Amino acid sequence: MSDGQPVFVAMVRDISERQAAEASLRASEKRFQDFVEVSADWIWEVDTECRFTFISKSVEAILGYPPDEILGCRPFDLMLPDEAARVSTELTALMAQRRPFRNFVKTNTHKDGTLRHIETSGTPIFGSEGELLGYRGLDRDITELIKARETLEIHQQHLEQQVAEQSSAALASKEQLNLILESSADGIFGANTKGEITFVNSAAEHMLGYSSSELLGRSMHDTVHHSHADGTQHSKTECPMRNCLFNNELIRVADDVFWRADGTPLPVSYAAHPMQHGGAIVGMVVNFSDNTVHKQFEQDLREREESLKEAQRIAHLGCWYLDVTSNQVVWSEELSRMFGFESTHPTPPYNEHHKLFTPESWEKLSVALDKTVKTGVPYELELETVRKDGSKGWIWVRGEAVTDGKGITAGLRGVAQNITDRKKTEAALIEAQKAAEQMAKIKSEFLTNMSHEIRTPLNGVLGLAQAGFRENAGRGKSQELFTRILDSGHLLLNIVNDILDFSKIEAGKLVIEAQPFSPGHIADEVLIVTTERAKAKGLMVESYLSADIPAVCLGDPTRISQILLNFLSNAIKFTIHGKITLETNWNGKSLCFAVSDTGIGIAPEDHKRLFSPFEQADASTTRQYGGTGLGLSISKHLAELMGGEICVESTPGKGSRFEFRLPYIESDRPLNSMPARSSLPTQGKRLAGLRILAAEDNEVNQLVLEDMLTNEGAALTLVSNGRLAVKAVMRAPKAFDVILMDVQMPELDGREATRQITAIAPDVPIIGQTAHALAEERIMNRAAGMVETITKPLIHEELMAIIVRFAPTPVVSPIAADLIDWDSLFKRFNNRKDFIEKLLRTALLSQEEIPSQLRKAASNQDMEAMAFIGHSLKGTAGNFAAKLLYDLARRLQDSARANSSDAATLAEQCADHLDEVLKLLRARIDQPKTENERHPDGP
C-alpha cells in the first residue's frame, strides 16, 4: 500500500510458444496414432516385468487376438514352451543392458493354433530420473517371407551349392570356371562391387539376347534390371542385388523380371551370392532361371480351371471338401449354384447344412458321412435339397475319405450332380406307367367281360347246334343247317380266341408250355381238322413227313397246332383250285413245318404287312375273304415266344409257302397217350353209371349240359347256383362222382362253393366251367380247389375227355366196340352213299395184303417197314372213320420211329384189328339196301 492506497502488481507471461508447442505435440501424437492405425506391423509397450501395457489393433490381424485380450500378458505366454524359454533368456539379457534391439526373430502361436514367425525391434523407455520403465517397439509378421525363403532354398539348394563350388573353383582355374559356366542350364553372370558385369555364361546370353561382349563391363542393374514388370523404373537403391554387395547377404527372389536386348521382359527367379576373397567382398554371382514355362504353366492351369468350372456348369456337377476336424466346408462355384447361392457366396457353415436338405435326406447323408469317416467306405446317395429360395431339388452325391499319413480320416471330398430334371422325368414316367397300367387293366377287364358275354350265349348256340346235329344225323338239309351253325359258331369262337390271344401277347402274359409231343401226330391232327374243308372246295391235300423225324420232342403242342391250323386255314381260304401241301422236316437242330398252296399269292411289298395286327394284304382281301387279320400276327408272336421264326415266300397268281421253324428240344419224358381230338360228338354212352352234379345259372346252358351228359349215360342233377350245389352235397356227401361248377353265379359263386364243398367231400373232383378265357382264371380256380377248368362254349369231346380223366372209377368207352364211326363217316361226305360205298370198296382192295405185311415186319423187327405201314394205315383209317384202327396205327408209327420194343406187339394188334375191319367192310358192301335208308349205325 502507498499512502493508504492499494497497489496492484501484475505479471504478464507470453505463452504463445507453449501453446504452439502443445499444439505441435498434439499434432505429433495424432500423426503417431495414425501411423499406429494404418501400420501392418503391431506396436507394443511392456513394463519392466515384460507385461504388455499397450498393444496396437494390428496385433489381431497377425496373431488373432484383440488387444484387450492380451494386455497384461507377457510375450512368452503366446509361444510354445521351448520357444518361450529361448526368447525369454535372450530378451532378458538385452533388457538388462538397457539397449535397443533390432530384427530379433521369434515364433508366436496364433490364436487358431498355427505358428507365426515374427521379427521384433524395441527400444528402452526411461523415466525422468533415468530409471528404466520398460520397452516399446513393433513386431512384423515375416511368416510368408520365411516360407518363401525356405521354398527357394529347397528349390535352389543344389544349384546354389553347385554355383558356390564352381565359383570357388573358378578362382583357381579359369578353364574350370568356363566349364562350369557353360555347363549350367541356368543363366549365370558375375558383377564386381560396382555392379558391373564381369562374366556371363552362354545360357544367360541366350536367355537375355546379348552377347558376352555386349554385357561385360556394363552396369548389371542398368542393363537387365532397370524396370519393374509393369515398366516403371526400378531404383538401384531398391534393387535386392545391391544388398548382396553391400550387406554381404544371400539374396533369393522367386518372381521378378530381367529385360532382354530387344526390350521384352523375361520372367525369372534368381539368387545372388556374394563373392569373397581374403575376407573382403569382391563381387557377386547371380544365377537365374527362365520362368516363362512356369508362367505359361500357371496360365494353362488357370485356363484349365476355368474350363473345368465351365464343364461343371454345363454338366451341373460340383465338388466339395469337408475338414472333419474343424468342420470347415469348401464348395465349388457350381455346387453353390445348385443350392441357389451366387457362385461367389461363401460356403455356408456345416452346422447350417441341415437346412439345405429335407429331413429324410439329411438323415441319410448324416449316416453316410459318419460311416465313411469311421470305415473309409465311399458312399453314393440321391438326396432331396432345399434351395436358398425354399424350392426343392435333387442331387446325386458321392463322397470318399481323405486320410493322413497315418491312415486316419482327415477329411471328406466328393462330387455332386444336379439331377432335378432327371427326377422330374422319372416322376413323369412313373405317372405315365401308372396311367398305362390302368389303361391295360381297363382293357383286360373289358376283354374279359367281352369274352364272358360272347362265350355265354355262344355256349348255348354251339351246344344246341351239336344236339341238333346229332338228332338230325343223315337227314340231309336239316343236318347241313346244323353243320353251318356249328361252323359259324366255331368261326366266332376262333375270332374271340384270337382277340384274347392278341391281348395276352400285348400284355406279356401268354405263357408257353413245355411238354412231350409227337411232330407227326400234330401234323396228322391238323390235317384231320382241315382236310374236309379243303375237299369241300375241291382241293387236293398232301402231307410229307420226313422219315427221320423224332418220335418225341419237347414243346407246346397246342400253340404249334394253332400256328399250323392258321397256315392251313389261310391256304384253304385263299386257294381256289389246285392243292395244299403240309411238310414236316427235321435237320437235327430244328423242326420245320411248311404249308404250301397254289392260291392267289401275295405281292412282295405286302409281305411285311401280313404280320401286323388287324391287317391283310389289302382291303379288298378282307372284303372278299373275311377274317380279322390277327391270325398271322399271333402266329408270329407265338413262334418267337417258342424261340422260332416264320418265313414266307409268295408269288402273285402262283401261290404261297409259309414256313415255321423252331428249335428242336429233346424230351427226357415219354409221350403221354392223349385221346384223338374231335370237333363233333361221337356215339356211345361214355358216362354210363356216373353221377354228376352240375351248377349252372343260365337256362340255355343248362339245356346244353343236360343234352350232352344224359346222352352219354350220366345221371345228372342240375342246380342253378353255388348255394344249392353246396346244399346238395351237404345233404348227401357221397351222392356224386363228379361236380361241374360254373364260376360266375348269383348268391354264391363257383369258387366259394368249391371251397365249401371241398371241406365237406374232399374226394369229389370239381371241374370248373367259365366263359372267362384268361390264364388267371384257371389259377384262381385251381387255388379254390377245382381240379381243372373248361372254357365255354363247351365242346362235347373236350368235356367228355375231362370228365373221363377225373372220374373216380374207370369209365370204359363203348367206342372200342365199334370198328367204324358211321355217323362221322356219313357227315364227312355229306351223306353221299355212292361215294362212301366206292371209298369202302377201294379201302378193302388196297388193304387186303396189309395184315400179312404187318405180321412179316413184326417178325423181322423191321422198324422202318412198320413205321411206313403204320403211317399209311393211319391215313386210310382216318378216311373211313375207323377210330380205334387209327389210334393203333398212330401208336405203331410213333413206336417204330422211336425203335421201341413194343412196336412188334402193336403191329400184330393192328393186323388183327385190320382183319376185323376188312370183314366188316365186306359185310357192309354185300348187305342189301333199303329205299328209305339214310345211314345205318353199323353192319
Q: pLDDT value at position 245?
A: 84
Cell numbers that stand for 470 in this block: 346229332
Distance CA 375, CA 801 (A): 69
List CB contacts of 655: < 8 A, sequence separation 6 or more. Answer: 575, 578, 596, 597, 598, 599, 601
* 3-class secondary structure, 295: helix
Distance CA 183, CA 538 (A): 110
CA-CA distances (angstroms) from residue 101 to 133, 135, 623? 16, 10, 119
Q: Which DSSP string do the residues of 358-387 spell out, in sequence order?
A: -HHHHHHHHHHHHHHHHH---EEEEEEEE-
pTM for the full model? 0.38
Cell numbers that stand for 485 in this block: 351253325
Core vs surface per residue 328-363: b (16+ CB within 10 A) or e: ebebbbbbbbbbbbeeeeebbeeeebeebbeeebbe
CA-CA distances (angstroms) from residue 931 to 252, 486, 928, 934, 935? 139, 30, 10, 9, 11
Q: pLDDT value at position 385?
A: 92
Cell numbers that stand for 609 in this block: 404287312
Closest CA to 630 of 544, 563, 551: 563
Distance CA 77, CA 54 (A): 16
β pairing state of 132-141 and 42-47:
antiparallel
Closest CA to 52 of 172, 137, 126: 137
Amino acid at position 468, single letter: G
The beta-strand segments (E) located in 278-421 are 280-290, 317-323, 329-331, 379-386, 392-403, 409-418
Task: Tell me how far the alpha carbon of residue 18 is from its chain's centroid.
Answer: 94
Distance CA 396, CA 909 (A): 78
β pairing state of 579-586 and 540-545:
parallel
Closest CA to 71 of 57, 91, 88, 85: 57
Q: pLDDT value at position 406?
A: 83
**8 Å CB contact between 631 and 689:** no
Name the one residue in this structure whose C-alpha cell is 380205334: 884
Distance CA 915, CA 925 (A): 15
Q: Which DSSP string do the residues of 21-79 spell out, in sequence order?
A: HHHHHHHHHHHHHHHHHH-SSEEEEEETT--EEEE-THHHHHHS--HHHHTT--GGGGS
Instruction: Read off φ and ψ for residue 641, nearest 5 degrees.
Output: -65, -30
The 3-state secondary structure of 590-646 reads EEEEEEEECCCCCCHHHCHHHHCCCCCCCHHHHHHHCCCCCHHHHHHHHHHHCCCEE
**8 Å CB contact between 889 and 918:** no
**8 Å CB contact between 631 and 566:** yes
Distance CA 866, CA 872 (A): 10
Strand partners for 788: 767
Closest CA to 505 of 497, 517, 514: 497
Cell numbers that stand for 620 in this block: 379288298
- Helix (H) / strand (E) element for 89: namely helix 81-96
Name the one residue in this structure whose C-alpha cell is 437346412: 355
Q: Residues 156, 161, 164, 166: what is their CA dihedral angle, to the nearest 10 degrees?
A: -110
Terminal C-alpha separation, the chain: 193
pLDDT below 50 — which residues of the chain?
Answer: 614, 616-617, 619-627, 673-684, 810-817, 927-939
**8 Å CB contact between 379 and 372:** yes
